[in-house]
Structure 1
Amino acid sequence: MGAEQLTQVVLPGKVEPEGLLIRHGAVPVPGPGQVVIRMEATGVSFAEQQMRRGKYFDQPPFPFSPGYDLVGTVHATGPGVDPDLAGTRVAALVKVGGWASHVAVAAADVVPVPDGVDAAEAEALVTNGITAWRMLHHMARVKAGQTVLVHGANGGVGSVLVQFARLAGVKVIGTASPRHHAALRERGVTPVDYRSEDVPARVREIAPHGVDAVFDHVGGRGVLDSWRLLAPGGTLVSYGSASTRDVGGSKMWPVLKTVGRVMLWNALPNGRHACFFNVWAGARRKDSFRARLHADLTEVLDALRRGDIDAPIAARMPLARVAEAMRLAESGTVAGKVILTP
């Protein structure tokens, strides 16, 4: 049997999905404090959709290998790392580089995956699960009996968010296209068709006094409606700008515009609160960031292991079919996350 070989996807520039390249080379050697993970599952998130358009606000220069997170088995350990970590299944949040058969990661950044948990299901909950958990419990601080609005309730983050909200005893209103309404009702969500219905009017019918929190990944002008739908004391959590994905111009402008609105709204004496969520907030304080990441992802994966939540997976495809996977993820027709396997 021959030596293992590295296979990775490279994003050479602003290209259509078919312009993604497959490259082969030597498996990386872990440096001091590092491990090399043999990837078992990675995924297509909104971040990579922005990156291929050059629209992700802090992406590296082209060319680079995308891939926001991954789950796999520790293949090798570097100097200063416990060699017993080899063979352990772990998850890692990496921002770039995850679309590869082997990925070098700081050992301090990996989180153990519980025994018996499927790698693809764990992968679907790395970025999406941390995002949903933190927004719900750390930013909006929801309580049982409250009502929240989740935009894109069938999406990668939304589908996890509604599950954690229902577990917390929270009533959920979720926007989605009609094809997803039956599945949302099964989760106890009141669905709203964002394509044919007047969303603010419909939400007002369901929650006449407003909602206690809105989770908005859409951005653009629609975030104004999200703010107006808040009840007194409510919280708007903005965590993306999907509506500007295909719009030209500065990649920083949508983020800066949202942050500016958040600052303005929070200066108003109306008892409501707005915030902008970024999973990398506080990353410069490495020790505290890693501790929080480890704690939150452990909560999420333990909930999956217990069966309290499931991991919505839209499709599983091999890395070699990354263009097809990207097209599917960008189609707006799927529920859950598109997973890539070696």
Structure 2
Amino acid sequence: MKRVVVQRFGGPEVLQVVEDEDPRPAPGEVVVRVLAAGVSFTDSQLRAGTYFHVPKPPFTPGYELVGVVEELGAGRSLLHIGDRVAALTVWGAYAERVCVPEAEAVEVPEDLDPAEAVCLVLPYMTAYQVLHRVANAQRGESVLVQGAAGRVGVAVLELGAAAGLRLYGTASAEDCASIERLGAVAIDFRSEDFVARAHALPGKGVDVVLDGIGGPLSLRSFRALRPGGRLVVFGHYATLSHGRKSRRGWFEWYVSTAAVAAWGLLSPRRRVLAYRVQKVHERARPLGVGGGPRDPDWYREDFRALLDLLRGGQIHPVVAERLPLSEARHAHELLEHSAEKGKLVLVPYGAPGAG
């Protein structure tokens, strides 16, 4: 089979396609023939070596997939050969075949386009869980989304509209119109002060800020909260510069994260919470505080909720381009310019839905 390998940390040029033996499932695993593997900003962080707990090269990137079960590992299984499933792999999805723990495979209706369905696995799941599992946003509350024109940002706006939230989103001037079309109030981050805009609202701040960028922006995001508000920090976009690791960005991210975590712990009326999608089974906790009980059913429940919203026409995953595995490097080169156009998807077996 073919798979993509990160030979060393760096830019898109470090991605190479190699031939390898087909994987064999261990007990409790299934072999999945990949129909669609999402290409995400998180994959570029893995490639650059800035993501938490990134494996050492060489490794295969790929955070999310939709595919067909081809082989079952030893032991009892609720899945069957031929079942279509989705999985949050964190890495490994850029391949023709992947071994996936059965417990982490979620069934996908066969009539859905695999490229659209894979959009639910990471960006829409992240959006759904930061809104409903972590921030616990309630109908009528105000939510400010940082980087609202990105894939997760757009997903938050669609999901927030479905949940009856009052939405605000920061974006560049050229993206503000698309933010407004999604029903949110757009804030041009270059020419407007989102903190001042938030404090001009009747509650003198917003109920929730969702910050997937991190760094010094998180400090200002905290200031935009009203008393009783919640800041959810769920990304570290600021650690990359032009697709490569930024040492200055890492330093600023760590310093700012420590500061905003301290503010959240010391503030009696505002909370700061952390979220990472690969820790989806761990309940929301204050930023900087470990531990917490686990709930292994969350991901499956939330994926089914997203499928219902997709069926109901309340969310609209947009696929910008479908590319073969051989063009993984090109897909990563497109990442910095394609977020506003939709999701980039690798389709190892050609036409969408093939197989």
Q: Structure 2-normalised TM-score?
A: 0.87
How far apart are residue 45 of structure 1 and its match?
Answer: 1.5
Distance 2:256 2:336 in 1: 23
Contact 1:35 1:78 in 2 (8 A): yes
Where does residue 249 of structure 1 map in the other structure?
A: 247
Alignment partner of 1:233 is 2:239: no
Where does residue 280 of structure 1 map in the other structure?
A: 278
How far apart are residue 137 of structure 1 and its match?
Answer: 0.9
Alignment partner of 1:341 is 2:347: yes
Contact 2:320 2:338 in 1 (8 A): no
Contact 1:99 1:319 in 2 (8 A): yes
Distance 1:105 1:255 in 2: 33
Where does residue 153 of structure 1 map in the other structure?
A: 148
Cα distance change of structure 1 residues 296 and 318 upon mapping to structure 2, 3 Å threshold: same
Distance 2:38 2:228 in 1: 36
Distance 1:170 1:340 in 2: 34
Where does residue 333 of structure 2 map in the other structure?
A: 327
Cα distance change of structure 1 residues 63 and 254 upon mapping to structure 2, 3 Å threshold: farther
Distance 1:248 1:206 in 2: 36
Contact 1:180 1:335 in 2 (8 A): no
Corresponding residue SS for 1:127: helix
1:271 counterpart (262, 269, 278): 269
How far apart are residue 37 of structure 1 and its match?
Answer: 0.7
Distance 1:322 1:293 in 2: 27
Corresponding residue SS for 2:65: strand
Counterpart amino acid of residue 193 in structure 1: D
Relative to structure 2, which stretch is displaced further, 123-132 or 329-338? 329-338
Corresponding residue SS for 1:136: helix
Q: Please list, as runs of the form range in 1=range in 2, the aligned pairs for 1:9-88 lying within 5 A after superposition.
A: 9-82=4-77, 85-88=80-83
Counterpart amino acid of residue 129 in structure 1: Y
Distance 1:236 1:297 in 2: 24
Structure 2 regions of 5+ residues with no counterpart?
283-290, 349-355
2:190 counterpart (179, 188, 195): 195
Where does residue 305 of structure 2 map in the other structure?
A: 299
Counterpart amino acid of residue 30 in structure 2: V
How far apart are residue 208 of structure 1 and its match?
Answer: 6.5
Contact 1:77 1:83 in 2 (8 A): no
How far apart are residue 13 of structure 1 and its match?
Answer: 0.6
Corresponding residue SS for 1:92: strand
Q: Please list, as runs of the form range in 1=range in 2, the aligned pairs for 1:75-154 lying within 5 A after superposition.
A: 75-82=70-77, 85-154=80-149
Cα distance change of structure 1 residues 202 and 314 upon mapping to structure 2, 3 Å threshold: farther
How far apart are residue 267 of structure 1 and its match?
Answer: 2.6
Distance 2:339 2:64 in 1: 22
Identity, % of aligned positions: 37
Runs of 4+ in 1 over 6 A off after TM superposition: none
Distance 2:280 2:158 in 1: 26
Contact 1:109 1:290 in 2 (8 A): no
Relative to structure 2, which stretch is displaced further, 244-253 or 219-228? 244-253
Distance 2:104 2:295 in 1: 10
How far apart are residue 188 of structure 1 and its match?
Answer: 0.5
How far apart are residue 248 of structure 1 and its match?
Answer: 3.4
Distance 1:320 1:33 in 2: 30
Q: Deviations over 1:12-67 (max 9, x none)?
A: 11232123100112221222111111111111222211122211121011110000
Contact 1:56 1:251 in 2 (8 A): no
Counterpart amino acid of residue 168 in structure 1: A
Corresponding residue SS for 1:14: coil
How far apart are residue 229 of structure 1 and its match?
Answer: 0.4
Contact 1:159 1:336 in 2 (8 A): no
Structure 1 regions of 5+ residues with no counterpart?
1-5
How far apart are residue 141 of structure 1 and its match?
Answer: 1.2
Distance 1:108 1:208 in 2: 44
Q: Deviations over 1:197-253 (max 9, x none)?
A: 333334444666111100011111111110000011110001112122135339976
Cα distance change of structure 1 residues 168 and 80 upon mapping to structure 2, 3 Å threshold: same
Relative to structure 2, which stretch is displaced further, 313-322 or 161-170? 313-322
Corresponding residue SS for 1:240: coil
Counterpart amino acid of residue 249 in structure 1: R
Q: Deviations over 1:296-324 (max 9, x none)?
A: 22212222122221113332222211111
Q: Structure 1-normalised TM-score?
A: 0.90
Relative to structure 2, which stretch is displaced further, 168-177 or 239-248? 239-248
Q: Deviations over 1:98-126 (max 9, x none)?
A: 11111001111100013422111111110
Corresponding residue SS for 2:177: helix
Contact 1:81 1:107 in 2 (8 A): no
Distance 1:162 1:282 in 2: 21
How far apart are residue 179 of structure 1 and its match?
Answer: 2.9
Corresponding residue SS for 1:224: helix
Counterpart amino acid of residue 142 in structure 1: A
What is the CA RMSD across the aligned residues, in angstroms? 2.4
